[in-house]
Structure 1
Amino acid sequence: MELIKDVSRGDWLLARAGSFATFGGVASTGFEAYVRILHPLRADREDRTTVDEHGEHPVLETAGWRWADVAERTRRTIDPLVSWQAISGRDDESDLSFEDGWLVHPPEEGWYEPTQLAALAALTELLAEATSTPNDLVGAIWDGWGDLSGSSTMGFGWQGGGEPTAAERAEMQEYMARVQAQHRREQAALRESLAGPRFMWPARECFLLSMSLSQLSDPSWTDDARVGTYVDFGHTPQMLWPEGHEWVLATEIDWDSTIVAGSRSLVDTILADDRFEAYEVDADASPSW
């Protein structure tokens, strides 16, 4: 991937930005149809008859769950604007525990799981009319992520049976100085790699990267993602669009769902694909928090 310095490639979206916190405010307005894809859940089945050396229950199996699986157990109703809080009964980020040993983790926010993104990328690539420029995509990544801002700090602590000796203290201070110097060099290289103009999406400044559907169709792409020769990151795009402007995929940093805006046929195809827990929405609607 290469950093795109010509941020005017996103001007067409800025002209169509909808109201803040609406689906059109996240993915832009003016498309024929919109679909909301709920982020999948990870669930662990624990053996609660025992604990391990860390005082935790051993995990017997891990599975992917849908929001509908949780709603069935909590006897809540799902609709296109559903919130995780509504079906889980949680008003915080705690896990949801069931008596049969299953522990369900909250959905990821601001991150669209790469396997799902790969399935969607493959889907749009198969629909020839949906993407005329499959090898020319623009991905917008929020520049506020802590590991991408170039401003992270380091902390150190002493772990031992008591106060460190003078020799141990000197050794630790030497180690700290060496590691901090390396960290400062890495942060400077990060800032240099991402230096340049930003795509000024409302309330979400982003840098732009060149991407392709074939790249995103491999769910392991984040393992080797680089910008230039330095930046290694594990973030899926906040916004993604082809140069042909046929569709937009958007994952707001504070949302636990991803929006796809595009043609009627594209949205219908996503709705019919059981790999996605998806609901059609209106551009001017908002999730029910």
Structure 2
Amino acid sequence: MEWIADPGVGAWLRETLDDGLGSMHAVVPRGFPAYARIFHPATVRESPTAADPDVRVSWADTAAAFGTTMHAEAQWHRIVRTPVDADWRTRIAPDGREFTAPMEGALDSDLVTVLAGHLAAHTATPDDGVVALWEGFGGLVGFFGDGPSRVFLTFSEDPHHQAMLDRSTHDPFNNVFRKPTWQDGILSREISEGPRLELPGRDYVLFSGGAQAFADPDWVLGVPWRDRVGEEHGFPPAAQSPNILWPADRAWVMVSEIDYDSTIVAGSPDLIRAICTDERLEAKALREGADLTWDADEVNR
């Protein structure tokens, strides 16, 4: 995969998006014969005090636990019966289990692999396409500033070592005349300062890449935006999943909008059918013009 310096390759997307926010087409292209919504998995544990780790849970199982209705345009906070002004991110079901909301803006890496297998099978250009990443993910791009966009905190059981670490923490408020300096991101400075694909409300960094590359279970290890800095601090290999992906023949478009807890695919009826019948994914066919905004779930009121 290589950086695409000319964002013009994605200009066609602008013509397919709505100006307003009244439907999913503010971020998902119009003009495709069929659509699917892949629901990002939530997590659950037996109780708020349970020592057991959280495990994945589907939206359908969550709805069953809360006595609500799962449907294609469901909204998570309605599924878990969130009262006004209450926190929808963590909710306790009537049976005492604690449910945590799905991740927004990203599909789990193993599910990306599953989905990419279907995408690759429904294009004439499985090895040729475009990957778009939202520029705003913390640490992705570099910038001029007084400090990095993220900090890895280090602790030591040795008090002398900890004192040294404490002294190494810089306070920009005590040095107000310090000039901003370049703060490295995951991506190179050339890419960080390069042009972006500008879509309504979002700017994206583009890379060449086909669906077939993401069908590899180890795709995280091969992408240019792999978080090697995090690995140097002891974290396992990780990389943001694509926010937008389309093949060179534009047979379909995949969108993981940063404020959505689901991923939308626009494509052929055969592709949508394959996605929705794969038991490894929780997916439902979606009508064109579907409203996925916060208050749009009319079923669970």
Could you state the TM-score of these two structures normalised by the residue count of structure 1?
Answer: 0.79
Structure 2, unaligned stretches of length 5 or more?
171-180, 231-237, 295-301
Q: Which residue of 1 aligns with 2:133?
A: 141
Aligned to 1:16: 16
230 and 108 in structure 1: CA distance in 2 versus 1, 3 angstrom threshold: closer
Map 1:239-250 → 2, pairs under 5 A? 239-250=244-255
Contact 1:193 1:230 (8 Å CA) reproduced = no
**Residues 121-200 of structure 1 aligned to structure 2 (within 5 Å):** 121-126=116-121, 130-151=122-143, 152-153=148-149, 171=164, 175-176=168-169, 186-187=184-185, 190-200=188-198
Superposition pairs for residues 81-92 of structure 1, below 5 Å? 81-90=73-82, 91-92=86-87
Paired residue type of 1:135: D
Residue matched to 1:180: none
Distance 1:36 1:81 in 2: 9
Per-residue deviation, 1:247: 0.1
2:115 paired with 1:115: no
2:69 aligned with 1:77, yes or no? yes
Structure 1 gap segments, 5+ residues each: 49-55, 178-182
- Does the 8 A contact of 1:3 with 1:227 survive in 2? no
Q: CA deviation at 1:7?
A: 1.2
Give the number of aligned pairs. 267
Distance 2:229 2:124 in 1: 29
- Cα distance change of structure 1 residues 174 and 19 upon mapping to structure 2, 3 Å threshold: same
Deviations 1:207-233 (A, max 9, x none): 101122232012332245325998886
Q: Normalising by structure 2, report the TM-score.
A: 0.76
Following the alignment from structure 2 to structure 1, what is the Cα–Cα distance between the partners of residues 129 and 80?
36
| Partner of residue 51, structure 1 | none
Please give the alpha-carbon distance, in whole angstroms, between the structure 1 residues aligned to 2:199 and 2:283. Answer: 25
Matched, 1:271 2:276: yes
**Change in 2 beyond 3 A, CA 1:189/1:246:** closer
| In 2: Cα distance, 1:210 partner to 1:223 partner | 16
Question: Structure 1 residue 2: deviation in Å?
Answer: 1.4
Tell me by how many angstroms 1:11 deviates.
1.8
Query: Cα RMSD (Å) of the superposition?
Result: 3.3
Task: Please say if 1:225 is aligned against 2:223.
Answer: yes
Alignment match, 2:101: 106
Secondary structure at the counterpart of residue 37 of structure 2: strand
Map of 1:238 onto structure 2: 243
